[in-house]
Amino acid sequence: MAYYVNRNIKMTWWERLYLPEIIKGMGITSRHFFVNLFGFVPYLLGAKKERPIMTVYYPEEQVQYPIAYRGRPVLAQNEDGQPACVACGLCEIACPAYCIHIEPSENSGKQNQYERWPDVFNIDYAICIFCGNCEEACPEEAIFMSDDCEISMLDRKQMLYTKEQLLTPVADLQKRIDFTRNMYAKWNY
Ligand code: SF4
Ligand code: SF4
């Protein structure tokens, strides 16, 4: 849906003076600055039960991300321990960052119920842009965006995750699976 900015707003004479509005804006910014700077004092003295500061003390405190959040993409692992992936390569093609590498293999009958399966499935998080295209492209509900964003490393090579590292039990992804089913149904896929 296109969104148009209304540029024909009629300002009052007070707003047209310009400077009072600038001063008002700076006042709001300064108030937030000082609340953040000294807001812990009443909390420490016991006058307040909660800190009025919005800053999260990461990593001691963790943020609960909304279900729509796109963290690192992971591979869904079926109850038999195998990936739900059929190595069709659609996510690899849909990936704008070219960070997915798949080497398909014929199923010997031991892996899972599908004819094809990925012998190699790598995602390089060093170049992933967390766009979610892979999740959207997958016809098998085999790849999902998780809420995990703690993937910083000292060595870029360690950010190349293999199939074994990517596997995440379907039960842990159930909320995201339900969310995507709901979302794509709305979009009339
Ligand atoms: S989230 Fe985007 S960039 Fe990352 S692997 Fe998926 S398609 Fe590629
Ligand atoms: S994760 Fe999905 S889209 Fe990617 S290769 Fe596997 S089945 Fe195909």
Does 160 lie in the same domain as 114? yes
Residues facing 143 on adjacent strands: 75
Higher-confidence position of 14 and 3: 14
Question: Could you tell me the CATH number of the domain that includes residue 106?
Answer: 3.30.70.3270
Q: How far apart are CA 87 and CA 121, in angstroms?
A: 8
Q: Report if residue 89 sits inside a domain.
A: yes
Mean pLDDT of 129-149: 95
SS3 call for 77: strand
Higher-confidence position of 6 and 149: 149
Q: How far apart are CA 20 and CA 38, in angstroms?
A: 27
- Ligand 1 in reach of 137 Cβ (< 6 A): no
The length of the chain is: 189
Which bound ligand lies closest to the C-alpha atom of 96?
A: 1
Does 80 lie in the same domain as 165? yes
How would DSSP label each residue in 143-154? EEE-S------S
pLDDT in the model for residue 106:
83
Q: Report if residue 148 sits inside a domain.
A: yes
pLDDT band, residue 107 (cuts 50/70/90): confident
- Ligand 2 in reach of 88 Cβ (< 6 A): yes
Domain with 17, as residue range(s), is 13-44
Residue with tokens 């148009």: 4
Atom of ligand 2 nearest to the CA of 87: 5
Does 106 lie in the same domain as 23? no
